[in-house]
DNA sequence: ACACCCGTTAAGAAATTGTTACGGTCCGCA
DNA sequence: TGCGGACCGTAACAATTTCTTAACGGGTGT
């Protein structure tokens, strides 16, 4: 198995070294950073599998660093475990909480930390395994969740609409005629009038806007490139 | 609090008695064994919370006994503290080190021994706790106790309902179709109508409210993200 | 103007889920 | 052993959502 890399961001040097030592003993690669700014830099450079982030730090604190990470396409899906000293920070962290993240309060028990890390990595691996998620233009089409996102908006499309969109988006730029779409989305031996596709396309456009699915007259539809 | 049981395995009878005396004074239950073989027997019978194991012993030495314990499903997660006379044994012990284990060198200081024991037990309790507890939204889903908490409220869900909730919550956000849910929660080769899932979902919603489990029509259910 | 294709809408059909009620089973307890 | 209750699975019907169709209208090229 490949060693996982963990980036630890904390301004207390002693704690940093302690964690470093313990993680290495467990077979992880460890990167260290002493403030948020440095943390971001390292993260961008090395793409760690997980980040251990202290909340309270000088220069750029943990929350800020995390917000920056979330906005960076390369880093936004990296799982993060927060280190918090006070429990009221917990609430704040929960607000940020996405995906497989977690938090742990100081003082830190090494075994607990390690079991948390392993748990998060395990969870994360699971979710990563089957990435049925498409990102096209400003849309995220998440087949695991059956949800389409654009910025903060979430769209719950009905099944056929969702699958049609997903199919077209996964072949971005390629034109598909109605019959092909029916075969692929509806199923092979199904008797449905091809006009049906139009109606679904229209409903998608109604919800997401006209600018994703283009009509190619006389041929079919295409997801805009 | 329930008394913890500690199994002490050492061939020096005097030392055994001394440790026994001190541990009992601290409020532990104590089991004694004079060699590895006897140690394993007692461990199997009583499932102690922790084992104090001498390395050098006649008949079956500590290392061997520990290896056997590690292979036994019932005992493999029992924490062990090793007693070593020489520091070069220390290295050997580290190789075996799993979970919350520790070692201590002879001659033994009683107070040190006790504080180590307490530390290991504490660590061990902590990690045990972590494993089966989920915190999602305002819910705490505790699989050890089969209890769901929300603030001060406690809900006692029946087994199937609990497990269904737990499964969905542990895959927060991901849609699961009924068949998958049946496989994961009910079991692989079980013949149950998928409508059954609906009924259980309904019962969960009845108790906890509608806002945790979402329906994705045509697909399945999803724990709200 | 005609033919063809697509967009749009509304309405009914079909599919899916929600809800309730009921019978069976298991277990604890008298 | 018999009783009561909790739990589970199922069926039936209601409610809701989704899907499909048909029909009309507009645009475009011939």
Give the pLDDT confidence of A107-116 residue by residue, as tens digits: 667 777 887 7
Q: What is the average pLDDT across A143-150?
A: 91
Edge-to-edge strand list for the sheet holding A102-105 = A29-33, A5-9, A50-54, A80-84, A102-105
- Is the pLDDT score of A208 beyond 80? yes
Element (H, E) at A44: helix A36-46
Q: With an 8 Å Cβ cutoff, is B216 touching chain A?
A: yes
Calculate the average pLDDT of chain B: 80
pLDDT of residue A147: 92
Task: Give me the B residues in range 40-59 that sit within 7 A (CB) of strand D.
Answer: none
Instruction: For residue A168, give both structure tokens.
Output: 């077209």
pLDDT of residue A62: 67
Element (H, E) at B134: strand B133-136
Distance B155 CA to C30 C1' (A): 29
What is the CATH number for A61?
Answer: 3.40.50.2300
Q: Produce one character per residue of A41-69: b if its CB has 16 or more CB atoms within 10 Å, e if not.
A: ebbeeeebbbbbbbbbbeebbbbebbebb
DSSP A128: H
Residues near B25 by beta carbon (within 8 Å), at least 6 away in sequence: none
Q: Which of A129, A145, A165 is the last residue of a domain?
A: A129
pLDDT of residue A98: 43
Q: Which of A86, A107, A129 is the last residue of a domain?
A: A129
Q: Which residue has the higher pLDDT, A99 or B38?
A: B38
Residue B35 to residue B43: CA distance in whole angstroms: 12
Question: Are residue B38 and residue B118 in the same domain, yes or no?
Answer: yes
Distance B205 CA to C22 C1' (A): 21
pLDDT of residue A100: 44
Q: What is the average pLDDT across B140-159?
A: 86
Backbone angles phi and psi of B123, in degrees to 5:
-60, -45
Calculate the average pLDDT of chain A: 81
Element (H, E) at B178: helix B178-181
DSSP, collapsed to helix, strand or coil, labels residue B184 as helix
pLDDT of residue A126: 56
Residue A201 to residue B131: CA distance in whole angstroms: 46
Residues near A193 by beta carbon (within 8 Å), at least 6 away in sequence: none
- Is the pLDDT score of A203 beyond 70? yes
Distance B161 CA to C20 C1' (A): 18
Is B223 in contact with B168 (CB distance < 8 Å)?
A: yes
Question: Are residue B40 and residue B86 in the same domain, yes or no?
Answer: yes
Q: Produce one character per residue of A191-203: b if its CB has 16 or more CB atoms within 10 Å, e if not.
A: eeeeeebeebbee
DSSP B78: S
pLDDT of residue B99: 41
Element (H, E) at B217: none
Please state, for a pLDDT cut of 70, what percent of chain A lies above it. Answer: 81
Domain that holds residue B203: 133-223
Of A48-52, A132-136, A210-214, the one with minimum mean pLDDT is A132-136
pLDDT digits (tens, 9 = 90+) for B170-183: 888 889 999 889 88
- Is the pLDDT score of B186 beyond 90? no
A196: the nucleotide nearest its CA (via C1') is D20
Question: Are residue A88 and residue A28 in the same domain, yes or no?
Answer: yes
Question: Are residue B103 and residue B32 in the same domain, yes or no?
Answer: yes
Question: Are residue B117 and residue B184 in the same domain, yes or no?
Answer: no
Question: Is residue A54 very low, low, confident or very high in pLDDT (cuts 50, 70, 90)?
Answer: confident
- Is the pLDDT score of A117 beyond 60? yes
Question: Are residue B45 and residue B141 in the same domain, yes or no?
Answer: no
State whether the beta carbon of A201 lies below 7 angstroms from any atom of strand C: yes
Residue B129 to residue B149: CA distance in whole angstroms: 15
Q: Which residue has the higher pLDDT, B1 or A170?
A: A170
Question: Are residue B185 and residue B104 in the same domain, yes or no?
Answer: no
Q: Which of A76, A96, A129 is the last residue of a domain?
A: A129
Residue A155 to residue A152: CA distance in whole angstroms: 10
What residues of A are in contact with residue B222 (Cβ under 8 Å)?
145-146
pLDDT of residue B98: 45
- Is the pLDDT score of B130 beyond 60? no
pLDDT of residue B220: 93
CA of B58, closest CA in chain A: separation in Å?
A: 32
pLDDT of residue B154: 86
- Is the pLDDT score of A94 beyond 50? no
Q: Which residue has the tokens 């027997």?
A: B41
pLDDT of residue B132: 65
pLDDT digits (tens, 9 = 90+) for B17-50: 989 988 888 888 899 998 888 888 888 888 888 9
Residue B169 to residue B138: CA distance in whole angstroms: 12
- The domain total for chain B is 2
pLDDT digits (tens, 9 = 90+) for B52-109: 888 777 666 667 777 777 776 667 778 888 887 665 555 455 545 544 466 676 677 7
CB-neighbour burial class of residue B206 (10 A; exposed 0-12, middle 13-18, buried 19+): exposed
Question: Are residue A112 and residue A159 in the same domain, yes or no?
Answer: no
pLDDT of residue B2: 60
What is the CATH number for A199?
Answer: 1.10.10.10
Q: Residue B54 forms beta bridges with which residues? A: B83
pLDDT of residue A99: 40
Q: Residue B215 forms beta bridges with which residues? A: B221
- E-strand spans in chain A? 5-9, 29-33, 50-54, 80-84, 102-105, 133-136, 139-142, 147-150, 153-155, 175-177, 213-216, 220-223
The percent helix, strand, coil of chain A (3-state, each to 5) is 45, 20, 35
Question: Are residue B64 and residue B154 in the same domain, yes or no?
Answer: no
- Is the pLDDT score of A180 beyond 50? yes
Residues near B45 by beta carbon (within 8 Å), at least 6 away in sequence: none
Question: Are residue B123 and residue B14 in the same domain, yes or no?
Answer: yes
pLDDT of residue B54: 84
pLDDT of residue B60: 60
Question: Are residue A20 and residue A116 in the same domain, yes or no?
Answer: yes
Question: Are residue B109 and residue B171 in the same domain, yes or no?
Answer: no
Backbone angles phi and psi of B187, in degrees to 5:
130, 160
Chain A: residue whose CA lies nearest to B122: A109
């Amino acid at each position: 198995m490949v060693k996982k890399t963990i980036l630890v961001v904390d301004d207390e040097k002693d704690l940093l070294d302690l964690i470093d030592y313990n993680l290495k003993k467990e077979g992880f690669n460890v990167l260290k950073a002493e403030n948020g700014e440095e943390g971001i830099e390292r993260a961008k450079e090395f793409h760690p599998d997980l980040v251990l982030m202290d909340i309270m730090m000088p220069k750029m604190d943990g929350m800020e660093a995390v917000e920056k990470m979330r906005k960076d396409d390369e880093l936004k899906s990296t799982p993060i475990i927060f280190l918090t000293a006070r429990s009221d920070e917990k609430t704040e962290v929960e607000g940020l909480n996405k995906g497989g993240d977690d938090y742990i309060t100081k003082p830190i028990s090494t075994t607990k930390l390690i079991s948390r890390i392993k748990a998060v990595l395990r969870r994360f691996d699971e979710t990563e395994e089957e990435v049925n998620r498409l990102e096209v233009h400003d849309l995220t089409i998440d087949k695991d969740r059956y949800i389409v996102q654009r910025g903060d908006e979430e769209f719950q499309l009905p099944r056929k609409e969702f699958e049609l969109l997903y199919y077209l988006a996964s072949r971005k730029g390629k034109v598909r005629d109605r019959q092909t779409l029916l075969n692929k989305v509806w199923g092979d031996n199904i008797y449905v009038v091809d006009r049906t596709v139009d109606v679904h396309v229209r409903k998608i456009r109604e919800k997401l806007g006209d600018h994703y699915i283009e009509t190619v007259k006389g041929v079919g539809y295409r997801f805009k490139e």
